[in-house]
Structure 1
Amino acid sequence: MHQANLHQIECLLTLAEELHFGRTAERLGYSQSRVSQLVAELERRLGVRLVERTSRRVALTRFGVQFVDEVRPAYEELTAVFSRARDRARRRELRELRVGFHGDVYEEITEAFRSLRAEHGVSMALSEVPLGSPFTAVVEGRVDAAVVELPCHEAALTVGYRFPPQDRLLAVSTNHPLARRTSVTVEELAEWDVVRPLGDAPDYWMAARVPRATPAGLPISSSVAISTIHEGLATVAGGEHVMLVCRPLADRAARRDVRFLPVTGMEASSQLGLVWRRDRGGDQLVTLARLLRTAFTVAPAGARAATAAEEGPGRSASPVVVG
């Protein structure tokens, strides 16, 4: 089937409105000879005359009128599709941030996202990154930034915002022998199988999630790897394994078959960070970091106040995002 050029269709539709080659050429930014050429090419493709032109008047033929009536709705819909596609592409390139995260995105984070959209016109495209691969999606450019657990010592990445540090707790099944306790010591971790993240994270990051040994040097067993926080909680609920989590996860966990116990003697706390590539930073990411700092500093009455540190070791206390 012969396919007409969109320029030919556009030219004919404009000519049908103006019924004048000179005004048509002026509207489209063409020469009159170019308008005549486009109409003639379309007539050749269709094999029928569409326009009658004399020294006094321009008019559509009977076939021309019918063709214009039939093709106009399709042309207008097609141009609308192209316009919407261009708008989406422009928003994606300039006005959208792709942000990865672990587990759940809680209220303080979504408040910052809403502010970014309402105050700066930047929308968020969120995607969950594997628990044990916190940096890969950012390094490879599949997301612009990620809210993940620290530390981050990757040369290609920078920490634009550090969330308030949190205590680490031990998740155990309500049927586990530890469930009757009010706390455990860090040395007791050597007595149980602690689930670990599954992924390609650097060794230093994996060791921060599940230490290889207690402060006294007792080895910590870790025979089961999990891909998500929720998978880890389900594994713990089975009764044979335990998992180290941050306090905000325990505060928000809805499971009744899992308990969370303080771990005394645990030196390292849990801390999230907003990380992005050093060579791909920008105003939008800096603005998001500022809004996160505001969300954790300006807390509702009764909530724990928080402050943040960009590229520094500052600490504060407030509920954060994931375990």
Structure 2
Amino acid sequence: MDRRDIEIFLTLADELHFGRTAQRLLVSQARVSQTIAKLERQLGVLLFVRTSRRVQLTATGAVLADEVRAGWDRIEQAVSAARAAGQSVATTLTVSLEAPALADLAADVFGRFTSHQPSTRIVFREAGFADPLDLLRRREVDVAVTNAPIEEPDIEPGPVIHTEDVVLAVARTHPLAAQHIVTLEDMVGHVVLRAGRRAAPYWDGSGQTPSTWQELLAAVAAGEGISPVAKHAAEYFARPTVTMVPFTPGSPSIRWAICWRRGERTAGIDALVRAVG
């Protein structure tokens, strides 16, 4: 018996009326009659006694109804339990951060996401310093947060989740350390070390890319170069040998944006995009 045959058989066993059974299941009365006749042919026994005045289960029909109903109830309970479990299973959205401090700086965005998606947990990963998109390309994370613009053929850019000013990291003994503010022109003639995938105009290609953030700060402290970095570095990574000098007001800012593999935007990513607001 297929699912519909079982439903028709058990409903008729309850109603003992072909018309009411048809109405209850939203099928024709002929469909009910045809189904019962088919079952009786397949089993080789009568399941119902029909007269002009009433319908009754035969003894065999009553035993079959009890057995089928018990199994059917177990199947229905299992299906309901599976659906409930599927709705409550916690899922995970894995996000790599080029700057780990973004977990704090963009906490309002991630907070809105979790409030709207209570069954989804965000797991943060620290991205590689030299190539912050590597984890994304290797499918180890669902989303990456990196500085915009994001112009990669295999990566789809999303909205900006945090914007902040830029400061210039210089050695405490560097001539620029004595200035209250610096300009882009002040960087001319100095070796500029690149922090991650820092976008123009702050990096002119004159310096190398250190392997880690600590290597960058060590190189700056040693006077090997200067480096434009996000303003939060002055608070999160302060050290006595390095000075963070602000750029002039109106200088280009750093825009941290989410991105994902092109063509692979999931429901979780959609929810995160909506949380940006």
Q: Same fold (TM over 0.5)?
A: yes
- Give 1:183 deviation, angstroms: 2.1
In 2, the alpha carbon distance for the partners of 1:266 and 1:171 equals: 18
Query: Which position in structure 1 is the counterpart of 2:8?
Result: none
Indicate which of 143, 146, 152 corresponds to 2:144. 146
Whether 1:287 aligns to 2:271 is: yes
Whether 1:245 aligns to 2:238 is: no
Query: Which position in structure 2 is the counterpart of 1:109?
Result: 106
Q: Secondary structure at the match of 2:188?
A: helix
Structure 2: which amino acid aligns with 1:150?
A
User: Is residue 103–residue 228 contact of structure 1 (8 Å, CA) maintained in 2?
Assistant: no
Question: Which whole-Å deviations, capped at 9, do the CAs of 1:200-223 have from their partners, x for residues lacking one?
Answer: x6xxx66455124xxxxxxxx31x
In 1, the alpha carbon distance for the partners of 2:178 and 2:273 equals: 41
Indicate which of 144, 153, 156 corresponds to 1:155. 153
Indicate which of 168, 171, 174 corresponds to 1:170. 168
Question: Which whole-Å deviations, capped at 9, do the CAs of 1:29-84 have from their partners, x for residues lacking one?
Answer: 9xxxxxxxxxxxxxxxxxxxxxxxxxxxxxxxxxxxxxxxxxxxxxxxxxxxxxxx
Task: List runs of 5+ in structure 1 lacking aligned partners.
Answer: 1-28, 30-85, 213-220, 294-323
User: Is residue 195–residue 229 contact of structure 2 (8 Å, CA) maintained in 1?
Assistant: no
Task: Using structure 2 for the length normalisation, give the TM-score.
Answer: 0.59
In 2, the alpha carbon distance for the partners of 1:263 and 1:114 equals: 31
Q: Secondary structure at the match of 1:196?
A: coil
- Give 1:237 deviation, angstroms: 2.0
User: Is residue 103–residue 229 contact of structure 1 (8 Å, CA) maintained in 2?
Assistant: no
Query: Structure 1 240/136 Cα, relative in aligned 2: closer, same or farther at 3 Å?
Result: closer
Query: Structure 1 263/117 Cα, relative in aligned 2: closer, same or farther at 3 Å?
Result: closer
- Give 1:242 deviation, angstroms: 1.1
Within a 5 Å distance, the mapping from 1:49-128 to structure 2 comes to 91=90, 95-106=91-102, 107-120=104-117, 121-128=119-126
Query: Structure 1 245/197 Cα, relative in aligned 2: closer, same or farther at 3 Å?
Result: closer
In 1, the alpha carbon distance for the partners of 2:105 and 2:167 equals: 21
Question: Which whole-Å deviations, capped at 9, do the CAs of 1:205-249 have from their partners, x for residues lacking one?
Answer: 66455124xxxxxxxx31x42133343223212233211112233
Structure 2: which amino acid aligns with 1:102?
E
Indicate which of 238, 261, 267 corresponds to 1:277. 261
Query: Which position in structure 1 is the counterpart of 2:4?
Result: none
Query: Structure 1 110/163 Cα, relative in aligned 2: closer, same or farther at 3 Å?
Result: closer
Structure 2: which amino acid aligns with 1:146?
A
Q: Percent identity?
A: 26
Q: Secondary structure at the match of 2:238?
A: coil
In 1, the alpha carbon distance for the partners of 2:248 and 2:116 equals: 43
Determine which structure has more spread, i.e. the larger CA radius of gyration. Answer: 2
In the alignment of these two chains, the number of paired residues is 193
CA RMSD across the alignment: 3.2
Structure 1: which amino acid aligns with 2:110?
F
Query: Which position in structure 2 is the counterpart of 1:231?
Result: 215
Query: Which position in structure 2 is the counterpart of 1:211?
Result: 204
User: Is residue 166–residue 246 contact of structure 1 (8 Å, CA) maintained in 2?
Assistant: yes
- Give 1:171 deviation, angstroms: 0.7
Question: Which whole-Å deviations, capped at 9, do the CAs of 1:86-126 have from their partners, x for residues lacking one?
Answer: 99xx64xxx11111111323424344434434541111222
Structure 1: which amino acid aligns with 2:233?
L
Indicate which of 214, 228, 238 corresponds to 1:254. 238
Question: Which whole-Å deviations, capped at 9, do the CAs of 1:122-145 have from their partners, x for residues lacking one?
Answer: 112221111231323223322111
Structure 1 stretches of 4+ moved >6 Å: none
Question: Which whole-Å deviations, capped at 9, do the CAs of 1:234-275 have from their partners, x for residues lacking one?
Answer: 321223321111223334433233212133498543211100
Structure 1: which amino acid aligns with 2:203?
V
User: Is residue 165–residue 271 contact of structure 1 (8 Å, CA) maintained in 2?
Assistant: yes
Query: Which position in structure 2 is the counterpart of 1:189?
Result: 187
Task: Using structure 1 for the length normalisation, give the TM-score.
Answer: 0.51
